[in-house]
Amino acid sequence: MPALIFPGDKLNIDSQKPTSLGPGLYYDPVTQEIEPTNAGIEVVTETKRGQTAYVEFNSKRYIPAVGDYVIGVIVGQFSDSYKVSLSSFSSSVTLSYMAFPNASKKNKPTLKIGDLVYARVCAAEKELEAEIECLDSTTGKDAGFGLLEGGMVAEVSPAFARCMLFDQKFPFLKMLSNFTQFEVAIGVNGKIWFKCDELRNTLACYRSILDCQKIPVAQYKDTIKTHFKNIVNAATGR
């Protein structure tokens, strides 16, 4: 049964399993304990490598936390870093030129203002500007992070984005795959990037995301089917 927890409560997590932390949780390096930082519903899901844990809570404003997967827009460029906007209601974050695979002083990334990037929050101190990186720091490889080219970005609630990213039983992506093949990147800052081979399918995905975040799961299939049917009818002039 889902448990309602508050900051300071003890979590129902199996400490013997490898655990990936999501929003609402903090690992204290001193006590080596995982602590909730937000009040909400504790969610723990089993994965192939262990378990994923996060706190489900409603928030309109995204606050960066270490380990978060985010989608941002390049809004500034300096001698050694980029400024990236993660949401309209929070301060920009820093993306170092060195935070890319195989980056060096002579081999710098070539991003420009307006580009979309998929990244991970690597530093988030209260009094300092948060930092993000476009690589897996444990392997030095891109791990799916980096420039997002083409496609469309849908802005959703952070809670809906967390469900899509962390809950392996959440049916939306599986249902969508019955209608088209796609690439997807999900940011817990409430941004979801989609790209299909055909623009009309990308548009149908975009409309499906915006509508499904507002309705019960039982209505997802019919809603997605309707959007793809409308796109086909529009293309054929029916």
The domain defined by 3-56 carries CATH number 3.50.50.60 = no
CATH topology identical between 3-56 and 69-148: yes
Q: Report how far residue 206's alpha carbon sits from residue 232's, in angstroms, rounded to the nearest whole number.
A: 15
3-state helix, strand, coil in the chain (%, to 5): 20, 30, 45
Higher pLDDT, 59 or 137: 137
Helix axes 199-212, 220-236, angle to 10 degrees: 150
Nearest Cα neighbor of 193 from 116, 140, 138, 133 is 116
Q: Report how far residue 71's alpha carbon sits from residue 150's, in angstroms, rounded to the nearest whole number.
A: 14
Q: CA-CA distances (angstroms) from residue 60 to 43, 157, 167, 193? A: 19, 7, 20, 19
Looking at residue 59, what is its pLDDT? 66
C-alpha dihedral (116, 162, 51, 135), degrees to nearest 10: 10
The domain defined by 69-148 carries CATH number 3.90.850.10 = no
Residue type, 63: I
The domain defined by 152-233 carries CATH number 3.30.1370.10 = yes
Looking at residue 13, what is its pLDDT? 80
Tokens standing for 225? 């089917």
Looking at residue 97, what is its pLDDT? 92
Q: CA-CA distances (angstroms) from residue 218 to 56, 163, 214? A: 20, 15, 12
Residue type, 19: T
**Residue 143: strand, helix, or coil:** coil
Q: How confident is the model at residue 2 (pLDDT cuts 50, 70, 90)?
A: low
Domain ranges in the chain? 3-56, 69-148, 152-233
Alpha-carbon Rg for the chain, nearest whole angstrom, is 19
pLDDT of 232 above 90: no
Q: Report pTM.
A: 0.77
CA angle centred on 153, ends 149 and 154, rounded to 5°? 165
Cβ atoms 128, 93 nearer than 8 A = no
Q: Report how far residue 115's alpha carbon sits from residue 134's, in angstroms, rounded to the nearest whole number.
A: 13
Strand ranges in the chain using DSSP code E only, listed in sequence order = 3-5, 19-21, 25-28, 33-36, 40-47, 50-56, 69-77, 81-85, 93-96, 116-123, 131-133, 146-148, 152-155, 183-187, 191-195
pLDDT of 219 above 60: yes
- Tens of pLDDT along 173-200? 999 999 999 999 999 999 999 999 999 9
Q: Mean per-residue pLDDT for 47-75?
A: 81
